[in-house]
């Protein structure tokens, strides 16, 4: 019983269809030889990566039972037992850049993506499976109802592609929702051309009350909105492009 309860927090839904695992592995464009898999579980995806000589491959898995299984079935695999969210990411590949792949634990999807955003300087590519709703949200553009904080933050630094949808019945146990695979590849942007901390704050605050116009939604920032284009302030956050948010951020910075 304890065991079952503990495992619930691991978001374990094992993929049973190998052709999908292979398709996920093939979706990598190989931007860097260093590759980290998050949550390999019983290794269905790992199988298509571990012997690929193009990669220097490592995996991180929180569940000790899965780690034992992986050691046994993939003796050459370098598997770190631990929590991806607590891992010192730069130490894994000696400060070199690395890509991330996985059929991710869905209970920490957003946290994984926020970490990618924070580590954008070291992570040139991410290929992975999320619950469909999260995948759609990340891949959405301005004007879409699902466009949100992660869409803006990630699309500022990554090209985001929705690759394909995956049905519930190819997992054991089947999740309650459909899944989807997306690919994030780092764009050319090194600096946004604004105070990036303030940018994050503006995006978060704008979407916090997403049905309000920005004029109202940004009030909690307590910064005068002087000089910001009236047509932007009359819009809602979900209608704004990354560049619109940058422009607003630059105006606000002048008031500080």
The CB-nearest residue to ligand SAH is: 39
Comparing CB distances to ligand SAH, the nearer of 17 and 133 is 17
Would you say 204 and 237 are in contact if contact means Cβ atoms under 8 Å apart?
no
CB-CB neighbours of 88 under 10 Å:
7
Q: Which stretch binds ligand SAH (CB under 6 A): 41-49, 131-139, 178-186, 236-244?
A: 41-49
Given 105, 124, 142, 206, the residue binding ligand SAH (CB under 6 A) = 105
62 binds ligand SAH (CB under 6 A): yes
Query: How many Å apart are CA 43 and CA 69, to the nearest integer?
Result: 9
Query: How many Å apart are CA 155 and CA 77, to the nearest integer?
Result: 33
Q: Which stretch binds ligand SAH (CB under 6 A): 47-55, 82-90, 162-170, 235-243?
A: 82-90
Given 55, 74, 84, 157, the residue binding ligand SAH (CB under 6 A) = 84
Q: Which stretch binds ligand SAH (CB under 6 A): 68-76, 77-85, 146-154, 234-242?
A: 77-85
Comparing CB distances to ligand SAH, the nearer of 15 and 240 is 15
Query: How many whole angstroms from its chain centre is CA 160?
Result: 10
Tokens of 26: 């093939």
20 binds ligand SAH (CB under 6 A): no
12 binds ligand SAH (CB under 6 A): yes
92 binds ligand SAH (CB under 6 A): no
Given 28, 36, 44, 70, the residue binding ligand SAH (CB under 6 A) = 44
Q: Sign of torsion, CA 242 245 251 253?
A: negative
Would you say 104 and 130 are in contact if contact means Cβ atoms under 8 Å apart?
yes
User: Tokens 């309650």 label which residue?
Assistant: 176
Query: How many Å apart are CA 211 and CA 256, to the nearest integer?
Result: 26
Going by the DSSP 8-state scheme, the letter that residue 236 receives in this structure is B
Site residues (vs ligand SAH, CB under 6 A)? 10-15, 38-42, 44-45, 60-63, 66, 83-85, 102-103, 105, 108
């Amino acid at each position: 019983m304890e065991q079952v309860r503990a495992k619930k927090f691991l978001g374990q839904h094992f993929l049973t269809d190998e052709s999908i695992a292979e398709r996920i592995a093939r979706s990598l464009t190989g931007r860097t030889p260093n590759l980290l898999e998050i949550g390999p579980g019983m290794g269905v995806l790992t199988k298509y990566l571990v012997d690929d000589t193009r990669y220097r491959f490592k995996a991180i898995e929180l569940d000790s039972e899965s780690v034992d299984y992986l050691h046994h079935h993939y003796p050459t695999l370098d598997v770190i037992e631990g929590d991806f969210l607590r891992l010192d990411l730069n130490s894994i590949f000696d400060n070199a850049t690395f890509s991330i792949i996985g059929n991710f634990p869905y209970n920490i999807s957003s946290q994984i993506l926020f970490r990618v955003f924070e580590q954008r300087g070291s992570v040139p590519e991410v290929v992975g499976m999320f619950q469909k709703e999260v995948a759609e949200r990340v891949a959405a553009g301005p004007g879409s109802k699902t466009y949100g904080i992660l869409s803006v933050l990630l699309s500022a630094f990554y090209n985001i592609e929705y690759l394909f949808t995956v049905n519930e019945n190819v997992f054991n146990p089947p999740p309650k929702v459909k899944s989807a695979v997306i690919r994030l590849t780092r764009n050319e942007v090194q600096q946004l051309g604004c105070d990036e901390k303030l940018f994050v704050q503006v995006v978060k605050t704008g979407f916090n009350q997403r049905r309000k116009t920005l004029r109202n939604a940004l009030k909690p920032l307590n910064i005068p909105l002087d000089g910001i284009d009236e047509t932007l302030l009359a819009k809602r956050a979900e209608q704004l492009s990354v560049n619109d948010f940058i422009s607003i951020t630059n105006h606000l910075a002048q008031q500080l």
